């Protein structure tokens, strides 16, 4: 099979463990069915997501949870080891994120939306947008251990929904398109269930009583907008010179 016909490689990269699962695990499961190689990456190990454990301890727990969820999907997992609330636009952040893109060698990237409920998500979005552009430039050095070579071309870039699909002022951010994940909703829920350490934290910090049910309701709400049982929304980054054809949607449609 020539390289052109192999299934595209996917990188789903978001801020914290559980964000990828919440926003796009159903879509990833569909892509896995298509034979795509999938890498899940989190910027942090979630070291501030606990009121009971210290940062190193909860980080260890959550790396394990993220790995377990990725295993359910048959995906690779990597953590870029930023600290929570410490994702900023600086040289080190750009180098690490570009290295992640070069290591995953994706054809399609799914990441956090530019506007979301907290800074870690928004900063992740910007760093990944930039990294997709920088990753093919051979003169840009990531200065990481065992640096991966530049990739061939800027990948297709998609933003997931923000949490609750709203901006800072409660306004809806409509997605460009909604993927029907009715067939994969249960795997998504299983992956999400791996993040058991977050139950207490989400209740304490976010006022979310039962995060599994909360996430299912959100998937159902997005699905309803597309007339299906469960859905996940996306926007495509179409600014020059990112590829503008909707390869993700074509790929998913080709499978139905």
212-251 residues in contact with a second copy (CB under 8 A) are: 235-242, 244
CB of 32 to a second copy, least distance (A): 23
Nearest to a second copy of 38, 78 (CB atom): 78
Question: Are the CB atoms for 199 and 211 separated by under 8 Å?
Answer: yes
Count of residues touching a second copy (by CB under 8 A): 72
Residues in 127-186 that interact with a second copy by CB under 8 A: 129-130, 133-134, 136-141, 143-147, 154, 162-164, 166-170, 176
In whole angstroms, what is the distance from residue 98 CA to residue 246 CA?
23
**Cα–Cα distances in angstroms (integers) from residue 116 to residues 14, 113, 163, 247, in the given order:** 12, 6, 7, 24
In whole angstroms, what is the distance from residue 128 CA to residue 109 CA?
9
Q: Residue 157: name the closest of 184, 135, 188, 139 by CA.
A: 135
Residues in 75-134 that interact with a second copy by CB under 8 A: 78-86, 88-92, 94, 96, 114, 116-119, 126, 129-130, 133-134
Nearest to a second copy of 67, 182 (CB atom): 67
Nearest to a second copy of 170, 227 (CB atom): 170
Residues in 1-40 that interact with a second copy by CB under 8 A: none
Nearest to a second copy of 169, 250 (CB atom): 169
Q: Residue 159: name the closest of 239, 46, 104, 87 by CA.
A: 239
**Cα–Cα distances in angstroms (integers) from residue 152 to residues 111, 135, 183, 200, 236, in the given order:** 20, 8, 33, 43, 20
Nearest to a second copy of 20, 134 (CB atom): 134
């Amino acid at each position: 099979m020539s390289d052109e016909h192999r299934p595209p490689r996917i990188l789903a990269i978001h801020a914290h463990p559980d964000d990828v699962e919440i926003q796009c695990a159903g879509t990833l499961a569909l892509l896995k069915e298509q034979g795509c190689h999938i890498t899940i990456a989190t910027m942090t190990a979630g070291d501030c997501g606990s009121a009971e454990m210290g940062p190193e301890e909860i980080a260890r727990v959550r790396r394990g949870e993220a790995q377990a969820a990725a295993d359910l999907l048959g995906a690779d997992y990597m953590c870029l080891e930023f600290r929570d609330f410490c994702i900023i636009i600086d040289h080190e952040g750009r180098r690490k994120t570009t290295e992640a893109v070069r290591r995953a060698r994706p054809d399609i990237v799914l990441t956090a939306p530019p506007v979301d409920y907290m800074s870690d998500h928004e900063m992740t979005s910007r760093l990944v947008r930039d990294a997709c552009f920088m990753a093919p430039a051979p003169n840009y050095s990531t200065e990481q251990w065992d640096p991966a070579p530049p990739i061939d071309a800027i990948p297709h870039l998609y933003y997931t929904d923000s949490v609750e699909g709203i901006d800072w002022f409660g306004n809806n951010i409509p997605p460009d398109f909604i993927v029907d994940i009715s067939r994969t909703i249960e795997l998504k829920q299983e992956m999400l269930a791996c993040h058991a350490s977050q139950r207490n934290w989400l209740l304490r910090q976010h006022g979310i009583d039962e995060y599994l049910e909360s996430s299912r309701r959100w998937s159902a709400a997005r699905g309803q907008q597309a007339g299906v049982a469960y859905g996940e929304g996306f926007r495509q980054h179409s600014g020059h010179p990112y590829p503008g054809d909707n390869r993700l949607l074509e790929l998913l449609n080709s499978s139905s």
